[in-house]
């Protein structure tokens, strides 16, 4: 079945540090890949999505490239800020399956 594996637990950084959150996926279909961000006390918000293999999605300084060869969709940001502190979820929707599969989430804490 479809699955998404992302780096779990907490990542602690200082402002202006480089962020990298690992995400890999498994499916027999043709996936659309997502990153959602959930701030404390709120619902998940779409951060970025990519439908086509080898394309890159970007938003608010975050980037992720749909790498079909390594079945990965890692999230990166060159310089994080304190306001980026949140839980980040990698997700996938494959083919006619309208229910995205979510990773277990990675908590990012950025200290000023």
Partner 1 sequence: GALVYQYPRRTICKSGTSMRMECQAVGFQATSVAWYRQSPQKTFELIALSTVNSAIKYEQNFTQEKFPISHPNLSFSSMTVLNAYLEDRGLYLCGARQVSGNTLYFGEGSRLIVV
User: Which residues would be at the binding site for partner 1 (CB under 8 A)?
Assistant: 32, 34, 36, 38, 42-46, 49, 51, 87, 89, 93, 98-100, 102, 104-105, 107
d(Cα 85, Cα 88) in Å, to the nearest integer? 9
d(Cα 96, Cα 31) in Å, to the nearest integer? 10
Residue 75 or 112 having the CB closest to partner 1: 75
Report in angstroms how near the CB of residue 78 gets to partner 1 at its nearest: 25
Give the number of other CB atoms < 10 A from CB of residue 77: 20
Report in angstroms how near the CB of residue 33 gets to partner 1 at its nearest: 10
Q: Which two tokens stand for residue 20?
A: 């990298």
Beta strands in 7-71 (DSSP E): 9-14, 19-21, 23-26, 31-38, 45-50, 56-59, 62-65
Residue 13 or 103 having the CB closest to partner 1: 103
Report in angstroms how near the CB of residue 51 gets to partner 1 at its nearest: 7
Residue 28 or 98 having the CB closest to partner 1: 98
Residue 4 or 110 having the CB closest to partner 1: 4
Report in angstroms how near the CB of residue 53 gets to partner 1 at its nearest: 15
Q: How far is CA 30 from CA 25, 51, 61, 109, in A?
A: 11, 9, 26, 33
């Amino acid at each position: 079945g479809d699955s998404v594996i992302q780096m779990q637990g907490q990542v602690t950084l200082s402002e202006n540090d480089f962020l990298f959150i690992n995400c890999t996926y498994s499916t027999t279909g043709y996936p659309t890949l997502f990153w959602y961000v959930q701030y404390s006390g709120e619902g998940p918000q779409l951060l970025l999505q990519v439908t086509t293999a080898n394309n890159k999605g970007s938003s608010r300084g975050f980037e992720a490239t749909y790498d079909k060869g390594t079945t990965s969709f890692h999230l990166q940001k060159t310089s994080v800020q304190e306001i980026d502190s949140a839980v980040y979820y990698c997700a996938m929707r494959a083919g006619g399956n309208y229910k995205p599969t979510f990773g277990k989430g990675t908590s990012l804490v950025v200290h000023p």
